[in-house]
Chain A
Amino acid sequence: MDEVIVEYIRRTVLKIPRDEIMAVLQKWGFLSEAQLQTINFRQTKESISHSVAQLCEESSANIKQAALLDIIYNHIYPNKRAWSVYRMNKTGEETDFFDFRDFKKKFRRQIQSALINVTINFREYEDNAIWIRIAWGTPYTKPNQYKTSYVVYHSQTPYVFISASTLRSNLPLLCQAMVVASNYHDIREMELRSHCLNSLKDIVFKRYSQNFQTNYPLQERNVLTENVDLRINDENSSEKERIHRLNQECFGDGPQPKLDFAQYKLETMFKSDPKWDVLEKKEPFRCLVKFSSPHLLESLKSLAPAGLADAPLSPLLTCIPQKARNYFKIREKKSLHPGNFVALFQLQDSSETQHMPILST
């Protein structure tokens, strides 16, 4: 058991960039300062990891310490994992006092009643975030420390951020345990996924700069007229001003939350010239459109000013942060006037249905 733990610690240290290893180990706090001084941080990472493993073996690290190091690593570098957002519901307005020990006990008991071979570790952070690390095994094998799921739960909110590993079959058990331990009634997936955990939190807790409709426009709107040589005349300055204003209305002023992609599943009828009978099937035309980008919302915001799209952008794209989702299913709604060239699309939303008018040619 010891060699497995030591090897696991060594591999975790290998993942950390060399300049940060000292800081992470100090945060971990398992090795004393004296021990840390004996490590030569100027050698290769491979050698550093071996030195650390050696020290841990001498100090008899146990599985709890190893798990703690893993939690600290994932807390500092959460963007290496893919996170999904879940929302829990409860009927009634009881505001229970959140007892961390009670929560831990119930969570552990719930999971272990179904599967005994798991390693569960908890850590509470200052912003009321509880990080839970679960290493999964099977009914017949010990937990595999390399197959972990992470749960981040802010106790004052109904939102849970889950980064499942490849073992997605354990996801229902995990959700069940969350619901029971936190005294809610049910949990549902929110169709919002990204690699950037902080951006997901920003979207869900509404911490990004949103745009509020004001009746009084800002006085200082001189963004486009500063430092301009009078000999250079922009013929389209009014157009640029309009695009800038529309962009401000759609996206707001501040930095956008970081999302990786937006996926639209279309189940709409193909609209064509009536004389092309071939395509006039009665079945909807299925199609999947996926927009991916290192920073999706910023690139959408810069589409219109770069001249690559018309402003205003389609509400399907701009509603992503407000609706807090990046998976959409678009079905067709029968319009009241068949001769009208405006088609109404219905966004599939489990809690409410919205009608968004979109022009189709």
Chain B
Amino acid sequence: MAVLRPFDKLPELNCATILLVGAEGGPQQQLAEAMLREKKDFNINIHLASSLPLPPERDHLRPRIDLIAFVIDIKSKYSLKNVQASLAYVDVRFFLGKVCFLVTGVGRVNNCSVEMNAIWKLGEDYCSPVIFCELELEGIRVATAQRLLRMLQICAGRVPGVSALYFSLLMRNSAGD
């Protein structure tokens, strides 16, 4: 069962799970900790992976994943390639609002190795929002954690009246203006 499917498992009570894929090491771990520090009224689980597919031996322990955030580091072409390779292991129904791309490292324009066009194209091809951030700065890290938390809340169905698909369309239309 290498492909990640959105509705394969039953949801847990009062719980939401986010999967961060890519850019392993410090930035991922710090973002996860920032998300845990935020005030929220439900439990969250954060899973960190460097690439997909996920190791199959832990499949039965894993909860249902509500939001996948692919982390791309602008300083490393390898991280973009890694994310592109991982996208093949995601079921198509995830792309109805349950996937977003997180691009980090934009604070250092001099060390840019990845083309902006490639990232925009990625967002358009997969119909998913692209969020730019700089995870090395404390303030931006906290703001990004808050945004991801809000998206997670919507994708887990905890905001009445707003579905993941509706929200992602909202984000894309406002970005296009």
A235–B25 contact, CB under 8 A? no
25 A-B pairs within 8 Å (CB atoms) are namely A229-B36, A231-B36, A231-B43, A231-B46, A232-B29, A232-B46, A232-B47, A233-B46, A233-B47, A233-B62, A234-B49, A235-B50, A235-B54, A235-B58, A236-B48, A236-B49, A236-B55, A238-B55, A239-B50, A305-B25, A306-B25, A307-B25, A307-B50, A307-B78, A308-B78
Please indicate the chain A residues that have their CB under 8 angstroms from the CB of B33 in the complex.
Answer: 229, 232
Q: Which of A135-177 contact B (CB under 8 A)?
A: none
Q: How far is the CA of A305 from the CA of B29 in the complex (A)?
A: 14
Q: How far is the CA of A233 from the CA of B54 in the complex (A)?
A: 12
Please indicate the chain B residues that have their CB under 8 angstroms from the CB of A305 in the complex.
Answer: 25
A232–B24 contact, CB under 8 A? no
Please indicate the chain B residues that have their CB under 8 angstroms from the CB of A229 in the complex.
Answer: 32-33, 36
Q: Cβ of B142 < 8 Å from any Cβ of A?
A: no
Q: Cβ of B146 < 8 Å from any Cβ of A?
A: no
Contact partner, B48, options A232, A238, A306, A308, Cβ 8 Å? A232
Q: How far is the CA of A307 from the CA of B33 in the complex (A)?
A: 21
Q: Cβ of B45 < 8 Å from any Cβ of A?
A: yes
Q: Most chain-B CB neighbours within 10 Å: which of A229, A232, A236? A: A232
A235–B48 contact, CB under 8 A? yes
B1 → chain A, closest Cβ, in Å?
Answer: 14
Please indicate the chain A residues that have their CB under 8 angstroms from the CB of B24 in the complex.
Answer: 236, 307
B47–A235 contact, CB under 8 A? yes
Q: Cβ of B114 < 8 Å from any Cβ of A?
A: no
Please indicate the chain B residues that have their CB under 8 angstroms from the CB of A231 in the complex.
Answer: 36, 43-46
Q: How far is the CA of A236 from the CA of B47 in the complex (A)?
A: 10
Q: How far is the CA of A229 from the CA of B46 in the complex (A)?
A: 10
Which residues of B are at the interface with A, using a C-beta cutoff of 8 A?
Answer: 24-25, 29, 32-33, 36, 43-50, 54-55, 58, 62, 78
B76: nearest chain-A partner, CB-CB: A308
B53: nearest chain-A partner, CB-CB: A235
Contact pattern, A 284-312, Cβ under 8 Å of B = 1, otherwise 0: 00000000000000000000011110000
Q: How far is the CA of A238 from the CA of B45 in the complex (A)?
A: 19
Please indicate the chain B residues that have their CB under 8 angstroms from the CB of A238 in the complex.
Answer: 55
**4 closest A-B pairs (Cβ-Cβ)?**
A235-B49, A233-B47, A232-B46, A232-B32
Q: How far is the CA of A307 from the CA of B75 in the complex (A)?
A: 14
Q: Most chain-B CB neighbours within 10 Å: which of A234, A235, A305? A: A235
B26: nearest chain-A partner, CB-CB: A306
B22: nearest chain-A partner, CB-CB: A307
Having A231-B43, A231-B45, A235-B54, one finds 5 other A-B pairs with CB under 8 Å, namely: A232-B36, A233-B62, A234-B48, A235-B48, A306-B25
Q: How far is the CA of A131 from the CA of B166 in the complex (A)?
A: 77
B57: nearest chain-A partner, CB-CB: A238
Please indicate the chain A residues that have their CB under 8 angstroms from the CB of B43 in the complex.
Answer: 231
Please indicate the chain A residues that have their CB under 8 angstroms from the CB of B49 in the complex.
Answer: 234-236
B63: nearest chain-A partner, CB-CB: A233
Please indicate the chain A residues that have their CB under 8 angstroms from the CB of B55 in the complex.
Answer: 235-236, 238-239
B83 → chain A, closest Cβ, in Å?
Answer: 13
A306: nearest chain-B partner, CB-CB: B25
Please indicate the chain B residues that have their CB under 8 angstroms from the CB of A239 in the complex.
Answer: 50, 55
A236–B50 contact, CB under 8 A? yes
Q: Which of A195-230 contact B (CB under 8 A)?
A: 229
B11 → chain A, closest Cβ, in Å?
Answer: 16
Please indicate the chain B residues that have their CB under 8 angstroms from the CB of A234 in the complex.
Answer: 47-49
Q: Which of A249-264 contact B (CB under 8 A)?
A: none
B36–A233 contact, CB under 8 A? no
Q: How far is the CA of A239 from the CA of B62 in the complex (A)?
A: 17
Q: How far is the CA of A14 from the CA of B44 in the complex (A)?
A: 62
A267 → chain B, closest Cβ, in Å?
Answer: 30
Q: How far is the CA of A14 from the CA of B36 in the complex (A)?
A: 55
Contact partner, A233, options B25, B48, B50, Cβ 8 Å? B48
Please indicate the chain A residues that have their CB under 8 angstroms from the CB of B45 in the complex.
Answer: 231, 233
A40 → chain B, closest Cβ, in Å?
Answer: 43
A96 → chain B, closest Cβ, in Å?
Answer: 55
Q: How far is the CA of A226 from the CA of B25 in the complex (A)?
A: 16
A36 → chain B, closest Cβ, in Å?
Answer: 47
Q: How far is the CA of A238 from the CA of B29 in the complex (A)?
A: 16
A234 → chain B, closest Cβ, in Å?
Answer: 5
